[in-house]
Amino acid sequence: MRRASILPRVMLGARAASLTLMAALSLSCDKSITQTETLTPLEAVSTDASAGRWRMIVLTSPTQVPVPAPSAITSPAYVAELAAIKAAQETITPVQRERVAYWSGGGVLRWNQILRGLVARYNLPPAPRADGSYVFPDVNNPFGDPAFPFANPPYAARAYSYVAVAQYEALKAAWAYKYQYNRPAPARSDTGIRRLMPISDLPSYPSEDAVISGVTVAMLQALFPAAVEEITRRGADQREAALLAGKASSSDVAAGLALGRAVATLVLARASADGTGAAIGTPALWAALADSARARGETPWRSLETPVRPPMLPNFGRVQSWNLTATDVVAIRPPAPFPTASAQMLTEVAEVKRTVNGLTRAQRAIAEKWNDGAGTYTPPGHWNDIAAEYIRDARFSEVRAARAFALLNMAMHDASVACWEAKYTYFNPRPSQLDPSIRTDIGLPNFPAYPSGHSTFSAAAADVLGSLFPSAASQFTAMADEAGMSRLYGGIHYLNDIKEGKAHGLRVAAFTRRFAESDSAR
Amino acid sequence: MRVCGVTRPGGRRGTGWSRVLVRVAGLVLLLTAAAPRVHAQSMDDAIFMDRRVLCAGLFYTREQWSDYWEGTLKRDNGNIGTLTTTQASWMGAYGVTDRINILASLPYVWTKASQGVLAGQQGAQDLSLGIKVRAFSTPLTTHGTLHGIAVLSATAPTSDYTVDFFPLSIGSASRRATARGLLSFQGRNGVYVNGSASYTRRGNVTLDRVAYFTNNQLFLTNEVQMPDVSDYALTLGYQRTGLVVPIVFTRQTTRGGADIRRQDMPFVSNRMNFTRVDGRVQYVIPKLKAVTVHVGASHVLRGRNVGQSTTVMGGLLLAGKL
């Protein structure tokens, strides 16, 4: 009897064991993850031979920086350069092959990925000190605590735009000289040189890879000085890859590097005078902003952080834009938000509360998808992420890819300037300030609510991307609308912030589109 | 000696009315699936249900911390204040044989920050199922008996809670499989010593965003690689009929993962390590022999990327023979 009754129980145990084992085994042994946005070797649909005549942005002309004529391909010096490439290819190491593969997807796209990583790495606010005060990041002490920079959304928007514009300027200059000197790529001059990357009939002097590395390394060293070592190493890898691939000779690389660096110097001169240095403001300014709101009969924004943190970059609205004048910025400013004591505002606050209290899982997912808060590549980085796959799939030449990123990021920098100008004009409180019972589903940004930065950035980005990729325009608009609404779901914006932010972003983008329509690149 | 409502091996179990009560109540508890934490009669102790004995009950735990380790830097955070995690857990154990038990638990979790604006979260967390086998028992000297025990368990989330909102997320939502080995020396004088070690394989998790930064690297994917976790625990305890009093030292090590960066939020795959001391009392009510009361408290002594939490726990377990 006893044995008979035990058997089914043992079987029950066995079933439980097998169930447990199955669950364990379903955790497959391979935990490696596949990253999206992989780059395939770039075979551009066009070399864009006329790009040397496209409209410049910072430089006065594509040949503002002189590039001396190269030696003839029959010269002993050049023949020696070709022999050196062959010798290097003979002894190429697996690590070098990986680097060639890494850079073969296009330097503009690859550096954009690297830049997004740098922004995410440095997008952390300063920690409070024991006495409750905050120290601002110091460019002269980039490795300190806090590290420099705090790559918050305005800083990031500006950084993305400066890198993209500098690359675009340098490549247009490179294209002008390429078609002036018409020196073929080494692998085209000498059939003994293997092609380890796709090599088009684009002239190779100066090397576009070296131009990109020279200009980008110089820009990034200024924007992210604590990452100088990694940035410098990657730049050297890119130039070596072009050489090993049979794409550029050492004189192509040397001329490209010099041109890239010289263009960066010119662009950095603009950056150093664009007003960013004063964007943080002073305690007197912060107090004046609140006083001004009170004088208008409004409840002024205040930081809800503990300890209270100074507002983020209150003077960023005075930073130089790319395609708007300071007068334009004021002229397109959104109308004033609902007065904080008005019935409409009460309705808006109630709507936020109703939304967060009844939040669905799908709405939470949208809030998290577009959160792009501290420690991430920011909303402008998110739009670069979106753009990168379209640019890759369009197989743009390096100079056209640089144009696409330049247009996108000029629009987002301008959106950032215009949005911050409006935010600090109105100094409007966040929902949790007007109703402390509103709990947020994402981090609460430490700056005024109206208008929504996400909505402004996203509308501007979607509009410019839609002009570059018209067949996807409606998708970009849908994404931008979702990004805007994500802020209501997160409990950090009123619906009116989102609505007016979107309209504002479209007004900003119109300035970039006007530039793009007359730059001879269409 | 068993704690979960069982008095002595082979002895009578409870009076008539309490046996009936326990059978009914135990089944009801099993079926109503409220919530637990795996502390008491659990995957990491040497306690076994006798054959056909079902033990089930509810546990309440409240864990709080104000200081946490940002990497190795201990700090507080004015935007969190005190973080409170409350769990109501259902748990059950069943003796398939005297040597083979199956175990299950399911917590319902609430989180709340005392300061700042971040919303607390709540929801049914992860269901754990385990099988516990006493592989051998051998007399060791004249003073006691050495038991060798193996536990295999699997855990999976039961709801679609967010893992992108630490420290307020209610869990990591990672599917996990744990193998644990445990040696227990039970002295005749009631003193016992357990030593155990476990390894937990953790499945990757997905976020609702397409990129994230961890390990000093930008990942362009929504999938997060979850490092495995190991721990070891040392228990010094005393037991007599109807009473077990263990003190447990646990050290958990996450085998990979990044530190929280300066002034960053925690992330699901962080390297979460801790050393914790845990004291418990498990007491069978003399007049209600099917009922075991559990109370306990634990404190994190050292940690990395975790809160320095203090936890109090109470539970009620009912046992009966089916």
pLDDT mean over A376-392? 98
Chain A partners within 8 Å of B96 (Cβ): 9-10, 12-13, 16
Residue A8: pLDDT over 70 = no
* Residue in B218, B261, B268 to test binding to A, most A beta-carbons within 10 Å: B218
> Which residue in B has a C-alpha nearest to residue A303's C-alpha?
B116
Chain A residues with CB-CB distance to B216 below 8 A: 121
- Residue contact A440–B78, C-beta within 8 A: no
Q: Residue A51: which pLDDT band, with cuts at 50, 70 and 90?
A: very high
pLDDT of residue A36: 84
Hey, are the CB atoms on A368 and B209 less than 8 Å from each other? Answer: yes
pTM of the model: 0.92
Residue contact A117–B120, C-beta within 8 A: no
User: How many Å apart are CA B108 and CA B87, to the nearest integer?
Assistant: 6
Mean pLDDT of A373-401: 98
pLDDT for the residue A7: 47
Asked if the bond preceding B167 is cis, omega within 30° of 0, the reply is: yes
pLDDT band at A53 (very low <50, low <70, confident <90, very high): very high
Lowest mean pLDDT among A8-17, A96-105, B309-318: A8-17
Contacts of B164 in chain A (CB under 8 A): 368, 371
| Cβ-defined contact of B100 to A125 (cutoff 8 Å) | no
Compute the radius of gyration of chain B from its Cα atoms.
20
Chain A residues with CB-CB distance to B212 below 8 A: 376
Count of H-run helices and E-run strands, chain B: 1, 19
Residues of B in contact with A12 (CB under 8 A): 96, 102
Of B96, B97, B209, the CB nearest to A369: B209
Report the residue from B75, B119, B213 with minimal CB separation from A439. B119
Window from A150-159, A200-209, B20-29, B129-138 with minimum mean pLDDT: B20-29
pLDDT, average across residues A302-310: 97
**Long-range residue pairs from A135-144, CB within 8 A, at least 24 positions apart, any chain:** A136/A280, A139/A225, A142/A224, A142/A225, A142/A226, A143/A226
For residue A304, list chain B residues with Cβ-Cβ distance below 8 A.
116-117
Mean pLDDT by 10 residues, chain B (322 residues): 39 44 44 30 81 94 98 97 98 94 97 98 97 95 92 97 97 97 95 96 97 97 97 95 93 98 97 97 88 95 98 94 84
Token output for B197: 């070690």
pLDDT of residue A55: 97
Q: Please, what is the Cα angle at B143 between B141 and B145, to 5 degrees?
A: 75
For residue A380, whether the previous peptide bond is cis, meaning omega lies within 30 degrees of 0, is no
Closest-CA residue of chain A to B117: A439
Indicate whether A373 pLDDT > 70.
Answer: yes
Q: Give me the residue from A6, A20, A125 closest to B129, CB to CB.
A: A20
C-beta atoms of B262 and A368 within 8 A: no
Task: Report B:45-104 residues touching A (Cβ under 8 A).
Answer: 51-52, 75, 78-79, 81, 96-97, 100, 102
Residue A201 CA to residue A305 CA, distance in Å, equals 58
Residue B92's alpha-carbon distances to A66, A227, B55, B57, in angstroms, are 80, 54, 6, 6
- Give me the residue from A16, A26, A305 closest to B131, CB to CB: A16
Q: Mean pLDDT across chain A, nearest whole number?
A: 95
Check residue B293 and give its pLDDT. Answer: 94
Secondary-structure percent of chain B, ordered helix, strand, coil, rounded to 5: 5, 55, 40
Poorest-pLDDT segment among A31-35, A289-293, A438-442, B16-20: B16-20
Spatial CB neighbours of B181, under 8 Å, sequence gap ≥ 6: B148, B149, B150, B196, B197, B198
ipTM of the complex: 0.93
The C-alpha of B48 sits at a distance from chain A's nearest C-alpha, in angstroms, of 14
Q: Find the residue in B nearest to A116 (Cα).
A: B218
Whether residues A369 and B96 touch (CB distance < 8 A) is answered with no
Disruptive mutation site among A33, A148, A437, A487 for chain B (greatest number of B CBs within 10 Å): A33
pLDDT tops 60 at residue A12: no
